[in-house]
Chain A
Amino acid sequence: GAGVSQSPRYKVTKRGQDVALRCDPISGHVSLYWYRQALGQGPEFLTYFNYEAQQDKSGLPNDRFSAERPEGSISTLTIQRTEQRDSAMYRCAVQWGNTEAFFGQGTRLTVV
């Protein structure tokens, strides 16, 4: 997607391990979103930031999930003690105010 880089593109981890997914907006977008997307479904909202401030984390499934954006640019979504049900595509999107959001290519997480 225009202006958003996510890494890694694919991550396979063993159950119980922690993972960190990275989102790097190439230019300084104000708003940054994290979504989880199951195959064939719409993106499920997890959390979003305006600059470095986390505005809403109501979509995080449980306290194993956390996100940060300490300098208002790069964001990290961390999943602790991963479980198989955490396997999904995790997508980051960025937005300038009331405009369209641009999506990154996502990180495909597989927990085995």
Chain B
Amino acid sequence: EDKVVQSPLSLVVHEGDTVTLNCSYEVTNFRSLLWYKQEKKAPTFLFMLTSSGIEKKSGRLSSILDKKELFSILNITATQTGDSAIYLCAGYNDKIIFGKGTRLHILP
């Protein structure tokens, strides 16, 4: 059975800290890995990763995929209170399977 496991499940840090969120996957016929941010509403797309070792970057957020070790990380540098959210990782083969998410809380 395909599965995606995220860690930690929750994380509390102070504003300005750097955080690393982890995602491991077991997805047959893997095609890509997706990261989303969810605040109070619908999940919003952050990154899609298909190739190992190529970092994707958007402002203070970056992500990388390791297809050999079957994991991905999402880094957020210089965190701000607006980064507080649930971060979702998903594996895609012919369907999209999500992990349980990491709930990140940034203290001012």
B101 partner, pick from A41, A91, A98, beta carbons under 8 A:
A41
Contact A100 B100 (CB under 8 A): no
Which A residues lie within 8 Å of B97 (CB)? 45
Q: Distance in Å from the Cβ of A23 to the closest Cβ of chain B?
A: 12
Q: Which residue of A lies closest to B31 (CB)?
A: A98
Contact B42 A1 (CB under 8 A): yes
Q: Is A95 an interface residue (CB 8 A)?
A: yes
B: interface residue count bin? 20 to 34
Count, A-B residue pairs, CB within 8 A: 53
B45 partner, pick from A42, A44, A102, A105, beta carbons under 8 A:
A102
Q: Distance in Å from the Cβ of A50 to the closest Cβ of chain B?
A: 8
Q: Distance in Å from the Cβ of B32 to the closest Cβ of chain A?
A: 6
Secondary structure type dominating chain B contacts: strand
Mask for A70-112, Cβ within 8 A of B = 1, else 0?
0000000000000000000001010100111111111000000
A105 partner, pick from B6, B34, B42, B86, beta carbons under 8 A:
B42
Q: Is A65 an interface residue (CB 8 A)?
A: no
In the docked arrangement, what's the CA distance between A101 and B103, Å?
A: 21
Contact B48 A42 (CB under 8 A): no
Contacts A41-B100, A103-B42, A106-B42; A48 near B95 (Cβ below 8 A): yes
Which A residues lie within 8 Å of B69 (CB)? none
Identify the B interface with A (CB < 8 A). Answer: 6, 31-32, 34, 41-45, 48, 50, 86, 88, 92, 94-101, 103
Identify the A interface with B (CB < 8 A). Answer: 1, 33, 35, 40-45, 48, 55-56, 91, 93, 95, 98-106
